[in-house]
Amino acid sequence: MFDFEQLERAQEVVGRAMPPTPAHAWPLLAQRLGAGIVVKHENHTPTGAFKVRGGLVYVDALKRERPNTIGLISATRGNHGQSLAFAAGRYGVPVTIYVPSGNSVEKNRAMRAFGANLVEHGEDFQSAAEEAGRRAKVDGLEFVPSFHRDIVTGVATFALELLRKAPDLDVLYVPIGQGSGICGCILVRDLLGLSTEIVGVQSTEAPSYALSFAAGTVVGTNSSNTLADGLATRSPDSDALEIIRKGASRIVQVSDDEIAAAIRAYWTDTHNLAEGAGAAALAAALQEKKKLQGRRVGLILSGGNIDFDLFRKWVMAGAPAVLEENMPV
């Protein structure tokens, strides 16, 4: 999908807008898991999530290759839309973002603040995406998918930063929404010639990639009812699935309760706030704790854009118990 020269160029494009995000070893998380832990903090980007990297590289390529584009349009549950709005604003390109009804209030506000024209449509991401695709044809706009070569190349820069700093990771847990993050990790690992095992993470309530991984072909689901909106995918991308099937060892499914426990663990052990998808990697590692003893483990904290109401439900409601969860005796 990309070579090392293209990846280095993407790093330059991203670097003009933001510094590398930190990758920290947290001793309390290490105690909790019984393993060496490195967390890649993509919650520290200008939009609070990893996808801003893909937006920057996509819009940069668009301006060079199709400079007469009159505007962008896409669909999102939040982070993809914020990334496009942030990038489009830097390059002076108008952008319209479709979101499903009842979408995150905070993410909607953020997209508008970055300059997006926001439109609510449908009951879920799939409905919003289908309508955005229709409007793109009617209005002559550039439809930006959630999974695209330039987006994956941009997103892969976080994997390049991490794996250059920690090339000795035994295993790396990566959340899967539309697949750009895990595909970027797989492709960078292979370019660097590393042996790191890569494990995908999905919600039990939105397991389309996990089902497709097991079946060897695209399997969609009728619903995606997880509160972790960044994992709420009903229809996998076939190109992403091909990369994941070739390069990931497995896909772990985690429940909303396990994600909530991981969000609380991040809060108490690192004082970092993770959104649902952002905490999914830690939730999977906690589920597989017995397998990880004494190993060196990477976790992608992919974003921190959690609604306040969900923060109160998932973090504050369980706060008294979190100090006892999964800690060594």
Tens digits of residue pLDDT in 194-205 = 999 999 999 999
**Confidence (pLDDT) at 329:** 42
- Euclidean distance between CA atoms 207 and 222, whole angstroms: 11
Model confidence at 326: pLDDT above 60: no
- Euclidean distance between CA atoms 180 and 153, whole angstroms: 9
Model confidence at 5: pLDDT above 60: yes
> Among 254, 219, 215, which Cα is nearest to 237's?
219
Q: Confidence class of residue 323 from pLDDT cuts 50, 70 and 90?
A: very low
Model confidence at 284: pLDDT above 50: yes
Model confidence at 320: pLDDT above 90: no
Model confidence at 47: pLDDT above 70: yes
Average pLDDT, the chain: 93
The average pLDDT across 319-324 equals 48
The average pLDDT across 88-92 equals 96
Tens digits of per-residue pLDDT, 259-279? 999 999 999 999 999 999 999
Model confidence at 322: pLDDT above 60: no
Task: Spell out the alpha helix ranges (H) of the chain.
Answer: 4-15, 27-33, 52-65, 79-91, 105-113, 125-139, 149-165, 180-192, 208-215, 238-247, 256-270, 276-287, 308-311, 319-322
> Whole-model pTM?
0.93
> Among 232, 223, 327, which Cα is nearest to 276's?
232
The average pLDDT across 277-295 equals 98
How far, rounded to the nearest angstrom, does the alpha carbon of residue 115 sit from its chain's CA centroid? 22
Q: Confidence class of residue 319 from pLDDT cuts 50, 70 and 90?
A: low
Tens digits of per-residue pLDDT, 49-86? 999 999 999 999 999 999 999 999 999 988 999 999 99
Tell me the domains of the chain and their CATH numbers.
Answer: 4-50+149-322 (3.40.50.1100), 52-143 (3.40.50.1100)
The rounded radius of gyration (Å) of the Cα atoms in the chain is 18
Contact 37, 29 (CB under 8 A): yes
Q: Which residue has the higher pLDDT, 324 or 170?
A: 170
Q: Confidence class of residue 318 from pLDDT cuts 50, 70 and 90?
A: low
- Euclidean distance between CA atoms 294 and 307, whole angstroms: 35
